[in-house]
């Protein structure tokens, strides 16, 4: 590094004599170290905010606050829009309900023909159920489209015996429709205890089964068709015997829907 050179006192010129300085009582301040500079600024020139000449350097700090307020206003607008849509949907649903007065359709099992049950053989079963379901649409202004993709299953004591599907059709207003579906199962293994229970129940004339129906439907209101709604029907039925000539002794069906 280049060393700093401080000029010394100039020697007195010819004809001049150095005059000694009078001694003072105050102590002398130490001379600053070479290369050290001391700057003194009056207190009235110290700013807590940047002076106008340097304000542009800190302008980005003042721009953050409007962003927060903008994001809050966007959230408020979004929340207001959602609430408005929900309110509009509720009003529309209320108008449709009071204008059309929709009623739930009714379902019941009319008949069951059973084949493929041999309770004396330990071999796997291949049961077949020919089921006739009665669907009643009691509405005056609402029709029902039964779409493809339905399922019908028969259970005995949580054992799935056979499966099938409903035909696709349209049910008009104030209509009763009887639709038949063939349900089939294969390689159903039942242990000796279950076979014995089925035999005892058949001798008593009361064999219980559970039928579960799931069908995608669309509701027709005037000229408007809704999105697909899943109809869920569960029927507890009892038959007198496990033959093609069996008769339904009792049936009790529960109805529900999945809107989405």
Does pTM surpass 0.75? no
* Tokens, residue 237: 């039925």
Average pLDDT over residues 207-223: 94
Distance of CA 149 to the CA centre of its chain: 23
Q: In angstroms, rounded to a whole number, what is the distance separating the alpha carbons of residues 149 and 216?
A: 7
Question: Residue 76 has what pLDDT?
Answer: 84
Convert the pLDDT of each residue in 76-109 to its tens digit: 888 888 888 888 877 766 655 545 567 889 999 9
Residue reference for tokens 């033959």: 243
Could you give the domains of the chain? 106-258 (2.60.40)
Residue 258 has pLDDT above 50, yes or no: yes
**Residues in Cβ contact with 132 at an 8 Å cutoff, skipping those fewer than 6 apart:** 109, 110, 111, 112, 178, 179, 180
């Amino acid at each position: 590094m280049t060393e700093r050179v401080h000029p010394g006192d100039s020697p007195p010129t010819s004809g001049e004599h150095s005059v000694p300085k009078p001694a003072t009582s105050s102590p002398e301040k130490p001379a600053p170290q070479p290369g050290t500079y001391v700057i003194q600024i009056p207190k009235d020139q110290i700013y807590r905010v940047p002076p106008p000449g340097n304000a542009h350097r800190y302008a980005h700090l003042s721009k953050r606050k409007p962003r927060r307020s903008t994001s809050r206003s966007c959230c408020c607008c979004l929340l207001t829009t959602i609430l408005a849509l929900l309110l509009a949907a509720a009003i529309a649903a209320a108008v449709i309900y009071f204008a059309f007065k929709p009623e739930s359709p009714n379902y019941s099992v009319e008949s069951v023909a059973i084949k493929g049950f041999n309770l004396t053989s330990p071999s796997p079963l291949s049961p077949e159920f020919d089921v006739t379901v009665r669907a009643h649409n009691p509405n005056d202004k609402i029709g029902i489209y039964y779409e493809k993709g339905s399922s019908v299953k028969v259970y005995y004591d949580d054992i799935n015996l056979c499966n099938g599907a409903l035909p696709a059709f349209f049910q008009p207003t104030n209509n009763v429709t009887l639709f038949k579906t063939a349900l089939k199962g294969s390689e159903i293994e039942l242990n000796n205890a279950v076979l014995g229970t089925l035999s005892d129940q058949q001798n008593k004339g009361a064999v219980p089964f559970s039928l579960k129906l799931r069908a995608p439907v669309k509701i027709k209101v005037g000229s408007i068709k809704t999105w697909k709604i899943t109809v869920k029907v569960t029927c507890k039925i009892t038959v007198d015997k496990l033959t093609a000539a069996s008769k339904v002794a009792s049936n009790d069906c529960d109805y529900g829907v999945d809107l989405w």
